[in-house]
Amino acid sequence: MSAVLHPWLWGAIGGALIGLSASFAWSWSGRVTGISGLVAGVMRGERNFPLWFLLGLVLAGGWLLQLTTFGSEQPTRAWPMLIVSGLLVGYGTRVANGCTSGHGVCGVSRGSIRSLTATITFVATAALTVFLVRHVLPGGAP
């Protein structure tokens, strides 16, 4: 496989696979595939569905990384900023009672008002963050 596909096509393929896996998981197990909820399930000692789903997620990502050139790129931001960003995302998932995958993919598709509100908040916050990092903070993109 080659990574010569247009970037939007990679996004479309990834989105379709996410939707397909969420639909399959819901149909097969009745479980929502929000990653933070699955991680919390594993931390509580659940070993069946959450553990296998997360393991498949990591293995599939590693497999795709081996087949493409995506892994040759280095982060464009400093490691401390990436670490702080990751911690803020983790905190946000606790405050929002779920992560973007749970709310955006599974909650919105089930018609949850809470998930729709959370997803709108995620997208607005992400847009504001990109604007601030690129145009306001020192060292932003040209």
**E strand or H helix at 25:** helix 7-29
pLDDT, tens digit, 9 for 90 and up, residues 22-55: 888 888 888 778 788 888 888 899 888 888 888 9
Q: In whole angstroms, what is the distance from residue 33 CA to residue 106 CA?
A: 7
DSSP conformation class of 32: -
**Cβ atoms within 10 Å of 124's Cβ, excluding its own:** 10
**Cβ atoms within 10 Å of 96's Cβ, excluding its own:** 19
- HSE-CB at 118 with a 13 A cutoff on CA atoms is 22
Min mean pLDDT across 13-27, 65-79, 115-129 is at 65-79
Q: In whole angstroms, what is the distance from residue 125 CA to residue 120 CA?
A: 8
Does residue 141 have a pLDDT over 80? no
pTM (2 decimals)? 0.61
- What integer pLDDT is reported at residue 107 of this predicted model? 84
Give the rounded percent of residues in the chain with a pLDDT score beyond 90: 7
Rounded alpha-carbon distances, angstroms, from residue 47 to 22, 37, 51, 102, 106: 19, 13, 5, 19, 21
pLDDT, tens digit, 9 for 90 and up, residues 87-123: 888 787 877 787 777 888 888 888 889 989 988 998 9
